[in-house]
């Protein structure tokens, strides 16, 4: 499977899920989604689409800087049941989880997403609009918008760095594409879902959508950008990966102006300043979007890193210093999107440019070392070293960790993991650890005791929810459309 292939259409759950998960909950889960659909809309759905969450093994906060990342899809996913409703002419959206209230929209794809509302259906509208944006952009004939009935069900923990938002956005995009009788390639869907998820307010890179659409059972993927492409990475057979949620929730859209989008802005400012210092004229420099373009300009990663060390200073730059360095026009251009304007209006401390840049360049290097080590089948201990290095860089240079994540990473290492790091955007959410396969049970037990038992006792997490809080995971398959599936 690759960027030119279409999303798989399957007619049985066995083609996606393993026997144990079907037996214990997945078959029943699909029946529940179907029943919720029948209850809400009075008939069975025409089809289901599903798209998984992901764990990023290495390469954090560098996808939006143009650098390759190395995630794998996980077994937790989002299911969307869908039917055309020609008579309603509206987009009706419900959820199996009562916490997520239903909402009905007009069917015009031109409508804005109300990012400030932070309503969960924003991600549904992102996926919906993305299908029509893509048709428009690629000059393909666009069907007239029709009414759609939708029910969503998700098992990816939200705000946890396992990309529940992209699983939702991608599952909706695939479901809408199918319901409208369209067929795009996986590469096309990965590309437009990356763009349309930005309607939710975060200026994300394309990692999550790419792996959610193009993930495959048994392999992690090295994902490259501009254009998006993926290469299989065979993980060492003698190693396993464990995910642990540190229980600090980090809702990306809510905090974007002071966290995620601020980092995106800091990297762009650093890239423009470096471009100018390296001899670009003002017009050329103002067009620079990513730190990768600076590497391309100077010819190597080591030269780019040396340039950053020479031309950027430690600590914060305030707005006046940046205006003096790059000019008012370029400064305003960086903040031209509504999301970036929010960053500017909330920023009090200033912008840290050297530390962010050094994280990006060193992390990009670690991704390739990790991929090469997998290809050469080296001892997984080496992978652990790269993962530990990544966490340290995220913690100290990118400042996207938090006390709970650091404690969990330490707990993994103390329990015998070969390495551990935060995964996803950070500031809360999950850590991922690499462990020797024969140590999985002992690491799970030790981390349960050292990190979780006191939190269970304090009521921060119920023992019933531990299966999606601390678990070993294998590379799983990407998005699929399910037609004519039997739940018996």
Please count the other Cβ atoms lying within 10 Å of the Cβ belonging to residue 102.
Answer: 14
Min separation Cβ 29 and ligand ADP, Å: 12
Question: Can you tell me the distance from the alpha carbon of 427 to that of 399, in angstroms, rounded to the nearest whole number?
Answer: 8
Please count the other Cβ atoms lying within 10 Å of the Cβ belonging to residue 301.
Answer: 16
Question: Can you tell me the distance from the alpha carbon of 237 to that of 244, in angstroms, rounded to the nearest whole number?
Answer: 21
Which of residues 159 and 187 has its CB atom nearest to ligand ADP in the complex? Answer: 159
Binds 286, which of ligand NG1, ligand ADP, none (CB < 5 to 8 A, cut-off by type)?
Answer: none
Binds 212, which of ligand ADP, ligand NG1, none (CB < 5 to 8 A, cut-off by type)?
Answer: none
Min separation Cβ 255 and ligand NG1, Å: 10
Binds 205, which of ligand ADP, ligand NG1, none (CB < 5 to 8 A, cut-off by type)?
Answer: ligand NG1
Binds 78, which of ligand NG1, ligand ADP, none (CB < 5 to 8 A, cut-off by type)?
Answer: ligand ADP
Question: Can you tell me the distance from the alpha carbon of 168 to that of 164, in angstroms, rounded to the nearest whole number?
Answer: 6
163 binds ligand ADP (CB under 6 A): yes
Which of residues 145 and 244 has its CB atom nearest to ligand NG1 in the complex? Answer: 244
Please count the other Cβ atoms lying within 10 Å of the Cβ belonging to residue 378.
Answer: 12
- Name, in order, each residue with C-beta under 8 angstroms of 323's C-beta and a sequence gap of 6 or more: 331
Q: x/- binding map, residues 101-130, to ligand ADP, per CB under 6 A?
A: -------------------x--x-------
475 neighbors 71 (Cβ within 8 angstroms) = no
431 binds ligand ADP (CB under 6 A): no
Which of residues 222 and 425 has its CB atom nearest to ligand NG1 in the complex? Answer: 425
Min separation Cβ 158 and ligand NG1, Å: 10
Percent of residues in the chain assigned helix, strand, coil, to nearest 5: 50, 20, 35
78 binds ligand ADP (CB under 6 A): yes
3 binds ligand ADP (CB under 6 A): no
Question: Can you tell me the distance from the alpha carbon of 74 to that of 158, in angstroms, rounded to the nearest whole number?
Answer: 14
- Residue numbers of the site for ligand NG1 (CB under 6 A)? 56, 60-61, 63-64, 161, 163, 165-166, 197, 202, 204-205, 207-208, 252, 424-425
Question: Can you tell me the distance from the alpha carbon of 288 to that of 238, in angstroms, rounded to the nearest whole number?
Answer: 43
Residue nearest to ligand ADP (CB): 154
Q: How are strands ordered across the β-sheet holding 430-436? A: 419-422, 430-436, 239-245, 470-473
Q: Which stretch binds ligand ADP (CB under 6 A): 157-165, 286-294, 389-397, 456-464?
A: 157-165
Min separation Cβ 424 and ligand ADP, Å: 5
Question: Can you tell me the distance from the alpha carbon of 483 to that of 47, in angstroms, rounded to the nearest whole number?
Answer: 5
Q: Which residues of 462-480 are buried (b: 16+ CB within 10 A; e: fewer)?
A: eeeeeeebbbebebbbbbb
Q: Which residues of 392-416 are buried (b: 16+ CB within 10 A; e: fewer)?
A: ebbbebbbbbbebbeebbebbbebe
422 binds ligand ADP (CB under 6 A): no
Min separation Cβ 407 and ligand ADP, Å: 20
424 binds ligand ADP (CB under 6 A): yes
Which of residues 158 and 286 has its CB atom nearest to ligand ADP in the complex? Answer: 158
Q: Which stretch binds ligand ADP (CB under 6 A): 217-225, 247-255, 338-346, 460-468?
A: 247-255
Which residues participate in catalysis according to the annotation? 208
Residue 239 to residues 2, 44, 236, 435, Cα–Cα distance (Å): 26, 43, 6, 6
Which of residues 30 and 134 has its CB atom nearest to ligand NG1 in the complex? Answer: 134
From the list 233, 64, 170, 87, the residue with the least C-alpha distance to 478 is 170
Which of residues 45 and 424 has its CB atom nearest to ligand NG1 in the complex? Answer: 424
Q: Which stretch binds ligand ADP (CB under 6 A): 60-68, 152-160, 361-369, 473-481?
A: 152-160
The pairing of strands 480-482 and 8-10 is parallel
Binds 61, which of ligand NG1, ligand ADP, none (CB < 5 to 8 A, cut-off by type)?
Answer: ligand NG1
Min separation Cβ 310 and ligand NG1, Å: 27
Min separation Cβ 259 and ligand NG1, Å: 10
- Sign of CA pseudo-dihedral 348, 350, 62, 402: negative
Binds 48, which of ligand ADP, ligand NG1, none (CB < 5 to 8 A, cut-off by type)?
Answer: none
Q: x/- binding map, residues 81-100, to ligand ADP, per CB under 6 A?
A: --------------x----x
Q: Please, what is the Cα angle at 479 between 256 and 172, to 5 degrees?
A: 55
Residue 400 to residues 212, 345, 353, 390, 397, Cα–Cα distance (Å): 23, 21, 14, 11, 8
Question: Can you tell me the distance from the alpha carbon of 10 to that of 481, in angstroms, rounded to the nearest whole number?
Answer: 6
Question: Which one among 3, 68, 83, 164 touches ligand ADP, defined by CB under 6 A?
Answer: 164
| Beta bridge mates, 233 | 220
342 binds ligand ADP (CB under 6 A): no
Question: Can you tell me the distance from the alpha carbon of 411 to that of 139, in angstroms, rounded to the nearest whole number?
Answer: 53
161 binds ligand ADP (CB under 6 A): yes
423 binds ligand ADP (CB under 6 A): no
Which of residues 209 and 230 has its CB atom nearest to ligand ADP in the complex? Answer: 209
Binding site for ligand ADP (CB under 6 A): 78, 95, 100, 120, 123, 152, 154, 158-165, 168, 251-253, 424
């Amino acid at each position: 499977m690759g960027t030119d292939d279409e999303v798989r259409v399957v007619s049985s759950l066995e083609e996606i899920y393993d026997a144990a998960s079907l037996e214990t909950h997945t078959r029943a889960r699909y029946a529940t989604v179907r029943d919720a659909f029948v209850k809400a809309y009075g008939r069975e759905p025409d089809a289901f689409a599903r798209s998984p969450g992901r764990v990023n093994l290495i390469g954090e906060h560098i996808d939006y800087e143009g650098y390759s990342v190395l995630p794998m899809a996980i077994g937790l996913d989002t299911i969307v049941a869908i039917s055309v409703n020609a008579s309603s002419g509206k987009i009706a959206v419900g959820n199996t989880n009562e916490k997520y209230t239903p909402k009905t929209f007009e069917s015009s794809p031109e409508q804005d997403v109300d990012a400030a509302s932070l309503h969960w259906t924003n991600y549904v509208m992102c996926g919906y609009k993305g299908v029509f944006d893509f048709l428009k952009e690629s000059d393909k004939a666009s069907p007239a918008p029709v009414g759609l009935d939708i029910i969503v069900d998700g098992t990816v923990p939200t705000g946890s760095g396992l990309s529940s938002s992209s699983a939702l956005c991608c599952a909706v995009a695939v479901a809408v594409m199918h319901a409208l009788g369209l067929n795009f390639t996986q590469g096309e869907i990965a590309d437009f879902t990356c763009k349309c998820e930005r309607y939710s307010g975060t200026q994300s890179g394309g990692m999550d959508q790419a792996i959610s659409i193009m993930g495959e059972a048994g392999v992690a993927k090295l994902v490259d950008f501009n254009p998006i492409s993926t290469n299989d990475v065979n993980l060492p057979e003698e190693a396993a990966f464990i995910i642990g949620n540190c229980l600090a929730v980090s809702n990306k859209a809510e905090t974007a102006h002071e966290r995620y989008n601020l980092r995106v802005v800091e990297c762009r400012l650093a890239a423009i300043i470096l471009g100018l210092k390296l001899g670009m004229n003002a017009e050329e420099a103002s067009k620079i979007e990513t730190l990768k373009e600076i590497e391309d300009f100077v010819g190597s990663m080591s030269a780019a890193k040396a340039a950053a060390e020479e031309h950027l200073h430690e600590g914060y730059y305030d707005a006046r210093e940046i205006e003096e360095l790059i000019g008012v026009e370029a400064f305003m251009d960086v903040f031209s999107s509504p999301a970036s304007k929010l960053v500017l209006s909330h920023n009090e401390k200033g912008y840290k440019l050297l530390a962010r840049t050094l994280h990006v360049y060193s992390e990009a290097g670690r991704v390739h070392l990790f991929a090469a080590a997998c290809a050469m089948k080296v001892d997984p201990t080496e992978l652990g070293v790269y993962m530990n290095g990544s966490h340290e860089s995220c913690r100290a240079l990118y400042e996207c960790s938090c006390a709970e994540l650091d404690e969990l990473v330490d707990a993994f290492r103390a329990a015998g993991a070969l390495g551990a790091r935060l995964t996803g955007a950070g500031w809360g959410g999950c850590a991922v650890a690499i462990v020797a396969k024969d140590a999985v049970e002992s690491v799970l037990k030790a981390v349960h005791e050292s990190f979780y038992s006191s939190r269970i006792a304090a009521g921060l997490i119920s023992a019933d929810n531990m299966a999606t809080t601390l678990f070993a995971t294998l590379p799983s398959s990407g998005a699929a459309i399910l037609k004519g599936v039997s739940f018996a």
